[in-house]
Amino acid sequence: MKEIKQINLFISCPGDIKDELNSIEVIVKEFNKTFGKISSFSIQIVHWNEDTYTDVGEDGQEIINNQIDYDILIGILWMKLGTPTKRDKSGTVEEINRAIKNPEKQQLIYFKTATPNNLNAINTSELDDVMLFKKELSNKLLYKEFESIEKFETLFRLNLSSLIKDKFIDKQELNQSSTEIILPKKDVKYQNIVSLIDEIENSTKGNFGDIDIFEINKNGYECFDKITLNLTKMTEYLEKLTTNLNKGTEEINQANNIKDTRLKLSRAKKVVNRLSKELDDFNDEINSELPDFSENLKEVGKVTSDIFLTLKSYSGIDEYDIESNTIAFRDSMEYAMNSTAEMLKEIMNWPPINLKFNTSKRNTEVTLKDLTKEIMFGLTLIDETLDNKD
């Protein structure tokens, strides 16, 4: 019978982190139900309030330090560090620092960058402490940032799958365990056959859960097709806007050569108003495409983690084909991000002209900023996937 590897996951965070805790529980349950069964691992979330007991110690945090046993620490910080301890700035900070110093512990550290709905909830002094700790951590490890619960779920799913694949699943051991016949012991006749029978009788019913290898790969290709279509459309919108801006610049330069001041201003105003309309059209096009792009990025994070976890257990999947498609998609995203950033710089350099144009210009800057951030987030996901593939 295969031995189930239990992976203890300890979540360390102050009281302002709530939604992310629910997301972690949902994702862990999903992993256990699917890939945990085929790869013989089980993730157990440990809680300080459920997995500790009354004991004598210097303080409550020391009791937690002594009693909590974990393999992976998930640290999440937002607007506050938490309550100070006798040894560190807060319990969360102490737990993170202890994990970093322990080579047997793995860490996934996140900083939430979202602005709270209630601005009065911001304590600038506590926020400064968080930023200072973030700066200190930058010299010790690579932390992740997220601005929405959707982005956290995408990042966490991919990070956790990569960490489990790299640190807790041995591919060679898995392949051997599924095919290897145990040699009979001298004192038990037919031990190899008995072991096979025991494995079936003692295994959990429906051991492979809802896994469908072909469906996982099909979903992966479909997801990449959809998001590639999003990128293609937005790249076309950018190219069209570039053409319109170049044309407008040329026409304004021509208008400036007109000697009659009234005619010059009239011609220039006509061009500027048309440019304002073209900027508005571009904003509408991008903003109609961006939600779909964002949702497809979230799905990319999920299917990518599924695919590469599956690769660890099934050698028949064409790993080269998946990797080459991922690299091609990454190159397309980088091209789109660079084009968007160049366009943003150009728009920012345009001077204020009139109220209509200034409003359209500002809206376009915001649209291009949002698009750049979304593409950059997608690049982060793909780069992490490629970095952690092997």
**Could you tell me the residue range of the domain that residue 123 belongs to?**
5-171
The tally of domains found in the chain comes to: 2
As a whole number, the mean pLDDT across the chain is 82
- What count of other Cβ atoms lies within 10 Å of the Cβ of residue 86? 9
Clarify whether residues 167 and 217 are in a common domain: no
- Using the 3D structure, point to which of 171, 186, 221 is the last residue of a domain: 171
Give pLDDT, residue 233: 94
Is residue 86 included in any domain, yes or no? yes
Is the model more confident about 305 or about 334?
334
Confidence of residue 35 (pLDDT cuts 50, 70, 90): confident
Three-class DSSP category at 337: helix
Q: Decide: 149 and 110 in contact? Cβ < 8 Å.
A: no
Q: Decide: 230 and 296 in contact? Cβ < 8 Å.
A: yes
Is residue 197 included in any domain, yes or no? no
Q: Helix 213-256 crosses helix 261-313 at what angle (to 10 degrees)?
A: 170
Q: What is the mean pLDDT of residues 259-265?
A: 91
Is residue 194 included in any domain, yes or no? no
Inform me whether the pLDDT recorded for 179 exceeds 60. Answer: no
Confidence of residue 53 (pLDDT cuts 50, 70, 90): very low
Give pLDDT, residue 181: 41
Confidence of residue 55 (pLDDT cuts 50, 70, 90): very low
Clarify whether residues 219 and 339 are in a common domain: yes
| Strand ranges for 132-251 from DSSP E | 144-146
161-175, 182-196, 372-386: range with highest mean pLDDT: 372-386
Clarify whether residues 221 and 278 are in a common domain: yes
- Global confidence as pTM: 0.73
364-383: per-residue pLDDT in tens? 999 999 999 999 998 888 88
206-229: per-residue pLDDT in tens? 455 556 677 777 777 788 889 889
Residue position matching structure tokens 């046993």:
69
Clarify whether residues 367 and 240 are in a common domain: yes
Give pLDDT, residue 176: 43
Cα 28–315–161 angle (5° rounding)? 20
Is residue 35 included in any domain, yes or no? yes
Give me 53's structure tokens: 């007991």
Inform me whether the pLDDT recorded for 267 exceeds 70. Answer: yes
